[in-house]
Structures are given as structure tokens and as C-alpha cells.
Structure 1
Amino acid sequence: MQPTAALLVPLLLIATAALAQHPQLPVGPNADLGGVLLMPAGDQWNRDVSKDPVDPRSDAIIARIGAQTRLHEDFGLTWKGAPGGIPYYVVSGDQPKVPVAFRYADESDPGPYPIPPDVPIEGGPQGNGDRHVIVLDKDNWRLYEMFHAFPIDGGKSWRASSGAIFDLKDLKPRPAGWTSADAAGLPILPGLARYDELCVTKQLTHALRFTVKKSRRAYVSPASHFASKDNDPDLPPMGMRVRLKADFDTSKFSGPARVLLEGLKTYGMILADNGSDWFISGAPDDRWMHDELTPIRQVKGSDFEVVKMGPMTMR
């Protein structure tokens, strides 16, 4: 039986949604994602928060992070011989999976993980930092992320501190109290600034990941984990979202810097890890022109406000 005209539009919408969930992406390290939105449409990362109320503790929290401290891009340059930013690798659904042994196995999703032998490691093979490893399975639309990861026997197996697997077609939060490859228990790749968004489609349609030096022993949605022993109420909890104030003048900016700042007015950025204050995370890309990103350093902490937070978990 042929579908009626009344059914054609819904069927086309369903087909379009299915294609959006399984884009025909190239494979390889830091493969161009073509501006694709990684998370489901209704996910918190994609939510417009421009009209949300300001949190009552906004001024105190901003001051505690650093009202005069400036925004900083943590990507788009070479650092200690390795590309700055958090790299990723796009694989096909038939990529062989390898076993992974986790230090925090009780809060990690068990392997195996589809990790190619030449997968890039944050900070380079000899790096001694976070050593994130991120793999996106483009056919099954699954995200595999590891923290402090080391290959064994040329990558035939791996060891890591923690790891998480996210089904990007039907994303579910981590169990309460669980970490991921990120301190807040969040996925990393969906919160990275990417070249294909800032410089090709010229649209940022999701929140970005950022860090602070000191966070609170607490978390709010969408986070599921904290990474602090300090209960100071003026410290920011993991999962806290800030946005660039609506009256901040972005007209003096251009290129990817302006795209990024306009996105921060609408979607903001979510606290995901401890690190340097007001550092925005991004993905490496050979096409970045670093000088086009540095103007965001004109933006200060006082140019942001904390979006009203929901219930806070403290332990």
C-alpha cells in the first residue's frame, strides 16, 4: 500500500532524523564532522539558555573563579610539540575492539573499545597530562572516551584510569556519583569547539566545555560527579553553566572568535573538569589559524553570569 500524502511528511521527517543520527562521516584522526550535532536534539548540551534566570549566587561564584581573569582558548595551537586541544578519532562500525583495564572499574563502562592503533592521545604519546582518548563510531553512533589512557603492546590492549561509552542516539546520564573520562561525568567530544562549526558552518549550536582551578564538592545536572574536597558555597559545582551576558558587544569581533562568543550567549559553557580558570576546550585541526581565536582573551569573567542551577548533589 502506498503512503498517503498525509503520511509523507512524517515519514520524511523520520527518515531525515535517522540520517542525522548516522551521518556519512570520513574516518580517521580528527576527521571533519561537517558541523554535525553530536547529541540528541533535546539534550542539555543543545539547550538555549539565553532566557533562563540568573542564579542567585552568580556574582559570588564568578568572583571566586576570577572576575578579572580572561577567557582562554585551550586549542588551536601547538603545545610542547603536540597539537593543542583534545583529539578524537572517527571509526567505522567494523573497527576491531580491544580490551581495556580501568583503575576505577567500578565507575567505568567495561571494554572492549574500538581503538585504532594510531589513535591520537591528548598531549601526544609521551604526554603526562590527562591523556584523553576519544573514539566516535560513526555507524553505530556511539562515543568511547578514556581518561589517562596508555597503550599496551602497541595498542593490542589499553589501561586507563576511567572510561565511558555513550549511545548518542539515546543518551542517558551516568549513574549518580559516577565519573566518565571527564571529572563531571559528562561526554567530552560534544562540548569541544570544532573547526567545522566555528569556521565552516559558522554556527555554534551547543554548549562548550570549560575548566576552573578550584571547584566545589558538588554537582548539578547534567553532571553526575564532583572532583573536589572543598565545600565553599562560592566555588562552582561540576555541571554549572555560565553564559556570556546578553549586552556584551560582539560586533568588534570577527571570524571564529565572534561565532564562538555568539554561541556562548545562547548555549553557554558547562563546567566539566578542574584545570585553568576560564579555559575553553576544543579539538585539534590543522586548519586552525590561532590568531583568529586569541581575540576571545579580551573577554573577562565578569562578562559571564551563572545560569540558574537546579538541585545540587553534595556528599
Structure 2
Amino acid sequence: MSHSPNDTASSPTEPIIQEIDVVPSVVVLGGQSVKVEFHVYLTEPGVVRGRLLEPDGQGADLELEPRDDSDGATDDSAWSAVRVFRPDAPTGRWRLVVELGDEQVEQEFQVRWDRLRVPVRITTNLSSGGIELGDAIEVTGTIEREEKGVWEPFGHQVVSFAYLTFARGDSYTLDQVDADENGHFSALVEPIASGLLWAELELTTEPGPGTRSVAAHITVNDPGVGGEKAYYNGRTFKWPGDGWLRHGVNIHLRADGSDVRREATGRIAIYHSRGSAKPGQGDPGVSARVRGSQDGKGGDTGGGRYSVQTRRPARGRWWRVVYYDADNRRRNPSGWLKDTT
């Protein structure tokens, strides 16, 4: 039985959210209100809805409107909105939630002060000491602000964990978390060289009094694991537009002096750059929170193939993978690879 070309109609391409821009990417509040622009770009025309979430989770609808193209016609593949942030807007990590049908994507941005308005302090459990290469340090702490001579919790603020290496004098951000409503925070950070570690409150454009914790002197001992080396092949990135970036990689191990390779069965960690530039030598990058480990083994899907998902950072575009064996020993990292999706 023959079919004419009209018997089977081609289904239209469903739009997906391609990009979300917040301008400026960091909102700095001074004595005047600040106008913030939100732009959403789709692969095909569609209808989107927006909602702004404050650092404490409270939300309000954001009226996104289709933009006009150069000919004055409405373009339903590009949407925009403007929100004015008053000087007393909450500081911390805000989220723009965009809905397209059943799809939902978030874009984070920070709101800060131009200078300190009240005394603040940040305290942690950090103390100087030594660790083995590959070990993580659990950091806990509290953020407080002084109001009328009384120290009280300063909740929902952003905390970064900074590290300064002794050998090269390079400084890095190992992780970044949000404090809860009581100002408490915690994180696992992993220095890869000896140096100074401290927590820093991301509250103002420049560090001020009380925004940094006391630094701890960390000595990282390399036990010289030796043995097998990790080989990373077939790395892929997939960005379906749902707010998560898919990472795929094949990992095999080979002992020094041997031609025999075996499939990896341990776990992986993912790191990204802080900006658009490729990280330099010795830069460990920023640890990315991973989800989607299909069998609880850090993304191992069998046959040495790993598949995990991370949030796509606002500016970081370079990624690398670090393999840990079954005994949780860190192996050599992969090279940096740029996500061009």
C-alpha cells in the first residue's frame, strides 16, 4: 500500500527553554532602587510564565511579555520582564522560575548590598590540621547580625568557602551554600593542596568587617596512591533545557607499565570553572552538586560509562571529572572540556 506525502504530517517541533538572562547578574543595592531585566529565549515560539522566589522561598508572579522584533512584530520565542528592586530588598540568592508547559527551569542570581549596613559576623568549626588527599572537610557555621546591640541570626545568606594555596598563592572557591532561616550552614569541601581555608559571607561587593571567618591552616598529605591511572573518553554534554546539564563519560583504568585496561566501577565528582575562561594550571574549579546517579554509585551505569546531572552555572562553561576508586581514593582528574551546548 502506497502513501502520499500528505498522509503523514510532520509533527511541529516543541519549544524548549534555551537560555535565561538576568541583567545585572548580581544586583547591588545602595541608596537607590535598581531596575533588573529578565530575558527568556526559546528554541521555537511558545508561551511562558515566570515567578520570582526570594531567598526565604516566598514568591510572586513575574509578568513576562513577548518581545518585539526589529520589524515591530511580536516574537513569541523571546520574552522579557522588568522588576525594580528597592534598597530594602532581601539579600541572598534569588531564583527566577520559568514554566513552559510541563517544563520548569530555574535561574539563580544574587542580591547584595553595596556596603555593610549593620555589623555582621560568621563563625565556623574550622581548625588547623592535616588531611589525606581526597578527604573532604565538613564545615559548619553560623551567620549573625547585630541589631540594637543584640546579635541575632542572619538567615538565607550566601556563604562561599575560599581557599588560598601555599605553593602557588592561588585562591579558589571550593563551594557555595545558602544558610537556613537561623543562619546555619554546612558543606563538604575538598582541598587538593595545602593552604588556608575560610568561609566568606557573600553580602557586599567587597569583603567587609565580619564577613570572613577565621582561616584554618590545612595540610594536604598525598599518600602516593600509585597503581592505576584513570582514562576519560567519550565525554558528552546534553542540555535539554530543563535546568540540568547531563554529563556522560567513559572511564577505564590501567596500571603503570601494563597494556590491560579495566572498566571503572567507583564514583565520580564534577567540577566547573568560575567563568567563561578555561581554568589555569592548579585551579581545581568549583565543585558541582550532582544528581541522577542511576544506581547510587556516583553515576556508574555499567561498562565504565557514567551519567550524572548538575545545575548549569550562570557563567562557568568549562568542566572536568575526577574519579574515585572503590576505596574512595582520588585518581588523576580529566582535562578541562568546554560545554558548547
Asked if Structure 1 and Structure 2 have the same fold, meaning a TM-score greater than 0.5 normalized by the shorter chain, the answer is no
Question: Normalization by structure 1: what TM-score?
Answer: 0.24
**Greater gyration radius:** 2
The higher-RCO structure (CA 8 Å, 6+ apart) is 1
Answer 1 or 2: which has greater strand percent.
2
Question: Normalization by structure 2: what TM-score?
Answer: 0.23
